[in-house]
Amino acid sequence: MQLNSSAFKNASRIPVKHTGDGEDLSPPLAWNDAPAATKEFALICDDPDAPTPQPWVHWVIYGIPVATKELAEGASSKAPAAFVQGTNSWTSGKTVGYRGPAPPPGHGIHHYHFRLYALDQALSLPPRLDKAALLKAIRGHILAEAEAIGTYDRK
């Protein structure tokens, strides 16, 4: 399975409009070659370079129907009712849905891992799960994973 974005190439800089310094729009993502037995998708974006004990979570979205092959730019703010969004690592402001890269100034380049999971069944999970709860719920149901990595830094 492959995951990519038309907004940035793998391991390259995420455009400002997809960050906390810009419009904070979730980037467009597309995938292909999911296993034939896939029934649903889930996606997590996090930053393992964050100066926190655990990677900083930027987006948790799940319940993505199997017929879906892409998330359009800004999908977090206009996701279809079939999609379910979880909580990110922010404790105030927009705590559900996508929040783009916003690393501490001068902290160096951060790597944002967008991980797509192909699942063997539709799980009907409740909204607002955090990353840990989603990973626990999908454990044993993951058929394949794909990853796209974008970078961002603030001078």
What band does 49 get if pLDDT is binned at 50, 70 and 90? very high
Asked whether the beta carbons of 111 and 47 are under 8 A apart, the reply is: yes
Mean pLDDT of 20-36: 98
Residues 6+ apart with CB under 8 A from 19: 100, 101, 102, 152
Give the pLDDT confidence of 98-151 residue by residue, as tens digits. 999 999 999 999 999 999 999 999 999 999 999 999 999 999 999 999 999 999
Question: Which pLDDT tens digit goes with each residue over 71-80?
Answer: 999 999 886 7
What does the pLDDT average to over 19-33? 98
Higher pLDDT, 31 or 81: 31
- AA identity, residue 86: G
| Cα gap 110→122, rounded to integer Å | 33
Amino acid at 117: Y
**CA–CA distance from 40 to each of 52, 74, 83 (Å)?**
31, 21, 10
Question: Where do the domains of the chain lie?
Answer: 2-152
**So what's the pLDDT on residue 82?**
76
Backbone angles phi, psi at 60, to 5 degrees: -130, 120
Dist CA 38 CA 4 (whole Å): 19
Architecture of domain 2-152: Alpha-Beta Complex (3.90)
CA–CA distance, 53 with 47 (Å, rounded to integer): 11
